[in-house]
Amino acid sequence: MFDNIGWGEILVLIVAGLFILGPERLPEAAAWLGRTVRKIRDFATGARQQLREEVGTDFEEFRKPIEDLRSLRNFDPKYAVRQHLFDGDPDPLGLNNINGTGPTNGTGTSPTGGQPPRPQQEEPLRPGEKPPVDPDAT
């Protein structure tokens, strides 16, 4: 939740709290904040546990589609459209064999035997990592 807050920000919040609340009320405010956060955590844990108990085995059935949607983060629409339109042909217009400059193995086909090149598997995004920006897609 507070992954992006560093020690510098915490120090600024403490100094601001010291100026706003004063040294007399700052410990009370920190204790109140700690109790409130603990209550919220307990409430969230209890609600999650109660949901799992009430839903039972169906809970995993609800989680599966969500996990499938998360796997679509690395979906490349350009590659999918290209594969669908050209049926995996790496050179659909025949431009690689113009003037005999394309790679051939003597049979007029590519050295891979007509198989489309495999896309490079990219690593999935780490939590909190922003996806790369493609200026052509916008």
Q: With contact defined as beta carbons under 8 Å apart, do 125 and 117 qualify?
A: no
Residues 6+ apart with CB under 8 A from 3: 128
Rounded to two decimals, the pTM is 0.36
Low-confidence stretches of the chain (pLDDT beneath 70): 1-3, 88-90, 92-95, 97-122, 138
Three-class SS string for 26-76?
HHHHHHHHHHHHHHHHHHHHHHHHHHHHHHCCHHHHHHHHHHHHHHHHHCC
Question: What is the pLDDT, as a whole number, of residue 120?
Answer: 62
Among residues 83, 81, 69, 77, the alpha carbon closest in space to that of 116 is found at 83
Hey, where are the domains in the chain? 7-86
d(CA 76, CA 131): 12
Number of residues in the chain: 138
